[in-house]
Structure 1
Amino acid sequence: MGLQHTSGDLVGNMEVDAFRRLFPLPFFERYLLESIRPDARPLSSARDTTVALGAVASADGSALAKIGYTTMLAAIKMEVMTPSLGSPDEGGIAVDFHMPPVCSPLIKPGWPAEAASVLSKQLTDVIISSGMVNLKELSLIPGKAAWMAYLDVYCLNADGAIFDAALLSAVSAFSHLHIPAVSVTEDGRVVAVSGELVEGNLVKETPIKSMRKLTLSCIPFSLTCLLHKKYILADPTAEEESIMETHVTVVLDLSGRLVSFYKPGGPVHAHTSALQDCVALTRQRVKELQKILNEAIADMDLD
């Protein structure tokens, strides 16, 4: 009897999986009628989220962020540069987003992911427009030397809401960032101090700036939502994104200020009430992410 029952369950599961593959939208809509999703989440709930700081020992700041199965690794390297003539008292930030073929079956080996360049620009726009980093704080000697922060974000697994996870990893990496000490070599160059010798030249006795933490003026977080008929699905999986085309991404800072709003797909028009609901869901999500990041920082301080 037990074997027959197991066999019946197996056949039933196979039928469900076949229906899911052949008719994905009707499959999901059967769940939406009950205001849940196949993974048992309520429509407004995000997936389990974790942040681990200091994931890359060789970086000046790094973090590993996971939202469900979507996984991002962010690392920052600081280099001394000559500031631009237009902003002699400011440093800079350069962002590069990477989507290797192993992160998704949709990425073909040997071809750059189209989404990678778009996400690099989106991350840059949010980090700069939010004012998260005061670029003047990256200045060393006005007109002569400043810090350039090279941020690389690697997508290790893409299972939906990849911008949300990428931004979370980037913000976490900047929260972990320790700006190296700098000094001046005998030939007058400003360099990061990693020991008594820098490229064979003795540094002056006292660093012009010691190692320090970066002060974040503003912290932005985001939430991606799918809009389908009367339903709003927060933090979609890759499967959900492939089935329901209308999605929006809202970026808010900790005070609730709107930093940016993206609507890359779906009908041009969306109900104002639905967009307002997305903003309200993002406010709740920002509080959750702030708590998660604060706990990661506290754990790092204990270590």
Structure 2
Amino acid sequence: MASTDGDRPESKLAAEIEVEAYRRLFPLPYYDRHLVESVRPDGRALGQARETTIAVGPVSSANGSALVKLGDTTMLAAIKLEVMTPSTKSPDEGSLAVDFYMPPICSPSIRPGRPADTAPVIAKQLSDAISSSGMINLKELSLVSGKAAWMAYLDIYCLNADGSLFDAALLSATAAFSHLQIPLVSLNDSGRVITISEEQKGKSVSEPLNKEIRKLAIKNTPFSLTCILHDKHILADPTSEEESVMDTHVTVVLDSKGRLVSSYKAGGSVLLSRSMIKNCMEIAKQRMEELGEILKESLSAMEID
């Protein structure tokens, strides 16, 4: 039986080129044609997040680390602990410093020598979310009241930026803190607090101030979900293309008990209604449960290894 013109390889290729050209020239109408069918161009349902993976402990030189992939968005978080003198206002607490980096390799829009405008904004949002959720009790980072405490430096590197950057960054931070191990320390002859390395264990050193390497007691784990609001549609976990086409973004941060930690609305012309906020919260709660299970499985896999 003879094939029709539509079955020919060259006809299919021409059709694909035509669709791609339409997508580039008229991105919003292209998306609208999909959204009326409650589906997105990548095949996901509107409220469906992309495949998410977490690998804990990829950086051996860090005290805690995690590599997170949210679709093609990739984040590497590493925590380094250093002994510092606590402030006089909080003599029994350690401190946390958060930095977020977007090197040129993460996106064609990032130019060498020009820091990304969004990097300090995301760093501030991360610091606020970690603090507001109560995930870390800074008193656990105290060593000697008024004299020594841990300073936790959290550095997050965006290796590939394909949308929902804050969500992926917060997940990598949460996973890195879940993996964090606080090392042994002791006082040297001059009274300074020093870290006891693996090589020094069992040798002649001062009595450790902390008896064993331990993990932080994490009470409330923060998770977030970014949604795009377009007409009456809510798109969860947007890609960078979706973020560029539709401009009303809402990020909801919940803790592991389902309580609202914070929310952000980035620009856009869509006015938030109560029903929209409620729907975003419901989708975020479902996503929180998914992420909690993914994190739990990744930590269990590390312990088995």
CA distance in 2 between counterparts of 1:98 and 1:242 reads: 21
Q: Does structure 1 residue 148 correspond to structure 2 residue 151?
A: yes
Corresponding residue of 2:99: 96
1:156-171 residue pairs with structure 2 within 5 A? 156-171=159-174
2:149 counterpart SS class: strand
Q: Does structure 1 residue 126 correspond to structure 2 residue 129?
A: yes
- Which string of whole-angstrom CA distances, capped at 9 and with x for unpartnered residues, describes residues 3-44 of structure 1? 971101110000000000000000000000100000100000
Corresponding residue of 1:72: 75
1:164 counterpart SS class: helix
Q: Is the 8 A contact 1:178 1:212 kept in 2?
A: yes
1:272, CA displacement in angstroms? Answer: 1.5
1:267, CA displacement in angstroms? Answer: 2.9
Deviates more, 1:267-276 or 1:102-111: 267-276
Corresponding residue of 2:209: 208
CA 1:300–1:197 in structure 2 vs 1: closer, same or farther (change >3 Å)?
A: closer
Q: Is the 8 A contact 1:196 1:203 kept in 2?
A: no
Corresponding residue of 2:49: 46
1:153, CA displacement in angstroms? Answer: 0.3
1:179 counterpart SS class: coil
From 74, 83, 87, the equivalent of 1:84 is 87
CA distance in 2 between counterparts of 1:297 and 1:195 reads: 23
Q: Is the 8 A contact 1:186 1:203 kept in 2?
A: no
1:133 counterpart SS class: coil
CA distance in 2 between counterparts of 1:102 and 1:196 reads: 37
Please, which runs of 5 or more residues in structure 1 have no aligned partner?
A: none
1:110 counterpart SS class: coil
- Which string of whole-angstrom CA distances, capped at 9 and with x for unpartnered residues, describes residues 115-173 of structure 1? 00001100000011111000001000010000011000000000000000000000000
Cα RMSD between the aligned structures?
1.5
Q: Is the 8 A contact 2:94 2:149 kept in 1?
A: yes
From 17, 20, 25, the equivalent of 1:17 is 20
Corresponding residue of 1:62: 65
CA distance in 2 between counterparts of 1:196 and 1:183 reads: 14
1:280, CA displacement in angstroms? Answer: 0.6
- Which string of whole-angstrom CA distances, capped at 9 and with x for unpartnered residues, describes residues 44-83 of structure 1? 0000000000011110000000110000000000000000
Corresponding residue of 1:108: 111
CA 1:291–1:196 in structure 2 vs 1: closer, same or farther (change >3 Å)?
A: closer
1:83 counterpart SS class: coil
1:226 counterpart SS class: strand
Read off the aligned partner of 1:118 and give its amino acid letter: V
2:150 counterpart SS class: strand
Read off the aligned partner of 2:156 and give its amino acid letter: V
From 24, 28, 32, the equivalent of 1:29 is 32
CA distance in 2 between counterparts of 1:196 and 1:161 reads: 42
CA distance in 1 between counterparts of 2:270 and 2:44 reads: 28
| TM-score, with structure 1 as normaliser | 0.96
Deviates more, 1:209-218 or 1:267-276: 267-276
Corresponding residue of 1:258: 260
2:8 counterpart SS class: helix
Please, which runs of 5 or more residues in structure 2 have no aligned partner?
A: none
Q: Does structure 1 residue 218 correspond to structure 2 residue 228?
A: no
CA distance in 1 between counterparts of 2:199 and 2:302 reads: 28
The structure 1 segments of at least 4 consecutive aligned residues displaced by more than 6 Å after TM superposition are 1-4
2:68 counterpart SS class: strand
Matched length:
299
Of all paired residues, the percent bearing the same amino acid is: 60
